[in-house]
Amino acid sequence: MTILIDKDQVIAGPTLVPAAHELARDAGPELTIGLVNNMPDAALKATERQFMKLLQAAAGSRRIRFHCFSLPSVKRSPEAKWHVESEYSNLSDLERGKFDGLIVTGAEPIAPELDREPYWRDLTNLIDWAKVNTRSTIWSCLAAHAAVLHLDGIERQRLPAKCHGIFDCDVVADDSLTRFAPAPLKVSHSRLNEIAESDLMQGGYQVLTRSEEAGVDVFVRQYASRFVFFQGHPEYDALSLQREYLRDIGRYLARERENYPHLPVSYFDAATEEKLARFERKAAHQRHPALSNELPALNLRGDIGAGEAAAVLFRNWLRYLGADADAPRSVR
């Protein structure tokens, strides 16, 4: 899938890309950005939409040639496989192409050890390629954990309980990526593991934003490419965390998971949290899938700021790519 994102219109599909002369307008050098979408099938299209929307909003007058990829070793249903095969570009096109920016999504951790995930080899090859073939790559959540393990042997730590919710993150270093960021940055986190800040400091990484409760949020490392690591999910829609929470309740009721999921932090409004706590008490002794029909109506807090942090981070990221694109191509 190659989508030209232009501030006036989104053109889907390579055949609809306008002829070169139409691109002569002073849109500034076009940026080529790849999305390696390893999210589970149910979030596959939503993740495309989330990142496309963010890039379009952040692009201003710049044109972006946006390509989607997925690692072939990520297990997919026939339908999701068909979507990837018919709509996504081939990973080999990535290695042959010239990409200014790359975004690599996380995935739901299945194997206890990252290097036992089926896509580990593909992911480490991608990390090595991106180091010298992109101006900057964003590694999201599990991809960030995989990158620091592969690059510096830094192991993720399993959390006692899933870290999920909306967390206030403070800017802790002066960097172009967080310029004009609101204080605090409200960022969705949703992960079973974390990277300890002390390990990152020892490994020569620089932490840019941090939450008192959730720990490290955004951190960076300069190679030929600027590697940007998101432990959180600034790209998540307002309802993404709710969907995951409802999925986890469903898994508990179906006895597909041992424990009942904790409430996402600072996410639902107080009245909804009370109703969900009552539902949890009921689920403890009426544990069957049909009980999900009795889930209450859910209302989010009014201050979750969905998309606000991502808008700043992606606008600054594109500025970084664009500034570099304006400069003569340095030898990488």
Ligand X SMILES: N[C@@H](CCO)C(=O)O
Ligand Y SMILES: CC(C)(COP(=O)(O)OP(=O)(O)OC[C@H]1O[C@@H](n2cnc3c(N)ncnc32)[C@H](O)[C@@H]1OP(=O)(O)O)[C@@H](O)C(=O)NCCC(=O)NCCSC(=O)CCC(=O)O
Q: Which residues are catalytic?
A: 141, 233, 235
CA 258 – CA 256 distance, rounded (Å): 7
The single residue among 156, 186, 191, 226 that binds ligand X, judged by CB under 6 A, is 191
Q: Is 106 in the site for ligand Y (CB under 6 A)?
A: yes
Nearer to ligand X, 99 or 245 (CB): 245
Rounded CA-CA distance 6/311 in Å is 17
Q: Tell the smallest beta-carbon distance from residue 190 to ligand X (Å).
A: 3
Instruction: Pick between residue 186 and residue 191 the one whose CB is nearest to ligand X.
Output: 191
Bridge-based pairing of strands 64-69 and 101-104 is unpaired
Closest contact distance (angstroms) between CB of 153 and ligand X is: 22
Contact 143, 109 (CB under 8 A): no
Give the pairing of strands 136-140 and 2-6.
Answer: unpaired
- 3-class secondary-structure state, position 159: strand
- DSSP state at residue 300: B
Residue 250's binding partner out of ligand X, ligand Y, none, with CB under 5 to 8 Å set by partner kind: none
Binding part of the chain for ligand X, among 49-57, 185-193, 273-281, 300-308 by CB under 6 A, reads: 185-193
* Closest C-alpha among 67, 29, 28, 62 to residue 51: 67
Interacting residue with ligand X among 46, 57, 159, 192 (CB under 6 A)? 192
Least CB distance to ligand Y at residue 144 (A): 8
Closest-CA residue to 195 (of 146, 244, 235, 151)? 146
Q: How far is the CB of 168 from ligand Y (least distance, A)?
A: 20
Among ligand X, ligand Y, none, partner that 243 touches (CB below 5 to 8 angstroms by kind): ligand Y
Q: Which of 194, 199, 235, 244 binds ligand X (CB under 6 A)?
A: 244
Q: Tell me, what amino acid is at 249?
A: I
With beta carbons less than 8 A apart as the criterion, state whether 67 and 2 touch: yes
Determine the angle formed by the axes of helices 41-59 and 78-87, rounding to 10 degrees. Answer: 30
Binding-site ranges for ligand X (CB under 6 A): 108-109, 190-192, 244
Binding-site ranges for ligand Y (CB under 6 A): 39-40, 42-43, 45-46, 106-109, 141-142, 145, 190-193, 237, 239-240, 243-244, 247
